[in-house]
Amino acid sequence: MMNPMKRIVLSLIVAVFCAGLFSATTEAAEGQTQTQPRRGRRGNVVHVVSFKFKAEATEAQIKEVVDAFAALPEKIEEIGTFEWGTNISPENLNKGFTHCFTLTFQDAKARDAYLVHPAHKAFGGIVGPVLDDVFVIDYVANRRQGAGRGQGQGTGAAARN
């Protein structure tokens, strides 16, 4: 026979687990049926840029590129957030791409203004001579914060807009 206190604790654990499943299922269903982005949770355009530098590019040249890219938010008001970093993945699947930059924009119109901005064009002149390859992908952000994740724990800069 189970101790009455253990039975109560076990019942509470099962109830919390079931409530969590119900909540996750409801959120997933709502996410599938929602067609209009909600401001602040989804709808930002995220612009991801990865660089593979030429083998002969010096550390000073690469630093110049990074510094020039990092200066763009001060010159282009449409940039909402800017993050960058170098590859630290242990998977060895980066195909030679070492630097990644992520910029967020309120919408596609803001991203398009950034693309043709004179400061962005000038940056192309700095990066071009030392660049071996570039990978760019843009997407409309969809976000769902997982359990136990706070700011800075897997939610990214876009969550801090």
Strand partners, 45: 105, 140
Look over the chain and give the mean of its residue pLDDT values, rounded to a whole number. Answer: 78
- Mention every residue, 6+ apart, whose C-beta is less than 8 A from residue 17: none
Torsion angle, alpha carbons of 86, 71, 134, 116, to 10: 160
Taking residues 7-22, report their average pLDDT.
Answer: 40
Domain boundaries, the chain: 45-140
pLDDT of residue 117: 98
CB of 135 closer than 8 Å to CB of 95: no
CATH topology assigned to domain 45-140: Alpha-Beta Plaits (3.30.70)
DSSP one-letter code for 160: G
Alpha-carbon distance 141 to 104, whole Å? 9
Query: pTM of whole model > 0.75?
Result: no
pLDDT in tens, 35-75: 333 344 458 999 999 999 999 999 999 999 999 999 999 99
| Residue 22 pLDDT exceeds 50 | no
pLDDT attached to residue 55: 97
More confident residue, 116 or 25: 116
Q: With a cut of 50, say whether residue 156 has pLDDT above it.
A: no
More confident residue, 12 or 143: 143
**pLDDT tens sequence across 78-109:** 999 999 999 999 999 999 999 999 999 999 99
Cα separation values, 93 from 51, 88, 96, 145, 154, Å: 14, 11, 8, 26, 20
